[in-house]
Amino acid sequence: MTDNPLRLLLEFDSQAQRDRSQPPTFLHRRDRKFALVCEEQGEAPDAARWLAHLNRLSGPRATPTSADRTLASWRRINGGFAVSGAVAGTLAMAGLLFYDGGQRINITVFLAFVLLHLIFALFTTVQAMAGWQPWRWLAHRLGVNPGDGAFTRLQPALMARAAHLGGIAFAIAGLFTLLAMVVLQDLAFGWSTTLDTAATSYHGLVKAIATPWAWLWPAAAPDLALVEATRFFRAGNPTASPDPALWGLWWPFVAMMWATWVLLPRIILWACASVQARQKSRRLLTSHPAMHALLYRMETPALDTGNSHHDADDLPDTDTRGNLLPLPDSDILLCWAGAGEPELPESLRSGKQLVLTAGGSASLSDDDQALHRIAEHLKNNAKAVILLVRCWQPPTGELQDFLAAARDIWPDNARVALVPLATDSNQQPDAHQIQPWLRFAQRLGSEFVQVSLPPFQMRDPYTAIGDGS
């Protein structure tokens, strides 16, 4: 289990959601045993070790977890900001350095642009600290899932980090563009303003801006003589004839100003946003309601009631309130873990526009591709998906995670019809083979999943199996 606080919070919240369907007695014994094992090994039980322990018990996952999907969405957001920032930085610097051989490049415009960029960077940090989410619309527009539950309170910090990453790419691209233009062109810099500003006042401003690097690179801190010699007016200055060689001496100042007041603040603020996200993740994990319940279960002994009756000879209660329902009309057929092989029944195969496979030997990318292809088909056609499974194989956590991902990706009104197939697909499964699938559908929610049999097997579709009626 990773020590990344963001992933740890997501994994813990996801496990807490799954534990809601488990009996309290089972959870108490499971977590108390884990605490005793940690005590024997001389380790302190924490969330990371607890999740690693549960992962070892459940085995490797065949499908991406909700934490993987959420973090992948944020990686796409960060990558999009970085690419957009690099393109914008290149274009912005090229525009600022545009020189046609007539009017000189105005240093005052550079100063104003750097100030504006610094204000935007500080505003991004302030909105993250205040918990504002001005970027929420962009996350929805990109069609990604930025997270839910406790993770939603991290979105301001994560969006600020993404924005600062874009700012870093903007500053780096702009700096490289500046250096390339200095090498490839003979740039002429100067300064001018409509206001009645003396050269001494302007030099004082430039000197204050260059204070951080003046001791390191004196040539990048213009002196008063250079400031006086490179002022230009809209119609020229008949009283002065400056040396054209002086017009290019401003570029070290421009490069250092860009690196110090555009790039460096973005790096510092990006690091602050990263630290803020990590610290807030730790606080959210510590204050998570499921964490308090977990600590109570690990610290409290699991008591035996002392009942003299033992249930060694008792059969488990396999009754279920679920019923078999008629097979819905759908043109989408999904075969799970080799169901329907070697050949699908004609009654199921006919009329299907989309036939896909998932689970089993299929890779994670194949499962994800199948989910998105079905989602696109559901937008324009049927609202139900027929999912073929093998009746003799019990429902697995892999299938449950797959359906949980489908519930997030598919439209809200989409439904899944589970069809358990016997070894001989032309025969009806036994009642005891259908009951686990009915209970599985009941746990997932009857409004999303139902259990059906092929038309040639549904003699009485409304007959309850194993409900005692």
| pLDDT of the residue at 231 | 77
Q: Are 335 and 355 in contact (CB under 8 A)?
A: yes
Q: What is the edge-to-edge ordering of all strands in the sheet holding 415-421?
A: 354-358, 332-336, 384-390, 415-421, 449-451
Long-range contacts of 195-204 (CB under 8 A, 24+ apart): 199/224, 199/227, 199/228, 199/231, 200/224, 202/227, 202/231, 203/227, 203/228
| pLDDT of the residue at 467 | 42
Q: Are 229 and 243 in contact (CB under 8 A)?
A: yes
| pLDDT of the residue at 173 | 96
Q: Are 267 and 203 in contact (CB under 8 A)?
A: no
In sequence order, the β-bridge partners of residue 335 are 357, 388
What are the E-state strand segments in 377-436?
A: 384-390, 415-421
Other Cβ atoms within 10 Å of 368 Cβ, number: 18
Exposed / middle / buried, residue 176 (Cβ in 10 Å: 0-12, 13-18, 19+): middle
| pLDDT of the residue at 323 | 74
333 sits in which H/E element: strand 332-336
| pLDDT of the residue at 457 | 53
Q: Give pLDDT tens digits for 296-311.
A: 888 888 665 555 455 5
Q: Give pLDDT tens digits for 103-141.
A: 678 888 899 999 999 999 999 999 888 877 766 666 666
Per-residue CA distances from 273 to 17, 261, 377, 434 (Å)? 28, 18, 40, 52
| pLDDT of the residue at 463 | 42
Q: Are 284 and 150 in contact (CB under 8 A)?
A: yes
Residues of the chain with pLDDT under 50: 1-2, 146-147, 235, 238-239, 241, 308, 458-469
Which residues have a Cβ under 8 Å from the Cβ of 66 and sit 6 or more positions away? Answer: 10, 14, 404, 405, 408
Q: What angle do CA 302, 308, 314 make, to 5 degrees?
A: 90
The distance from CA 117 to its chain's CA centroid, rounded to whole angstroms, is: 27
Q: Is 243 helix (H, G, I), strand (E, B) or coil?
A: coil
Q: Are 447 and 322 in contact (CB under 8 A)?
A: no
Q: Give pLDDT tens digits for 20-42.
A: 888 888 888 888 888 898 888 88
Q: What is the largest CA-CA distance in the chain?
A: 112
What gap in Å lies between CA 130 and CA 148, rounded to an integer?
19
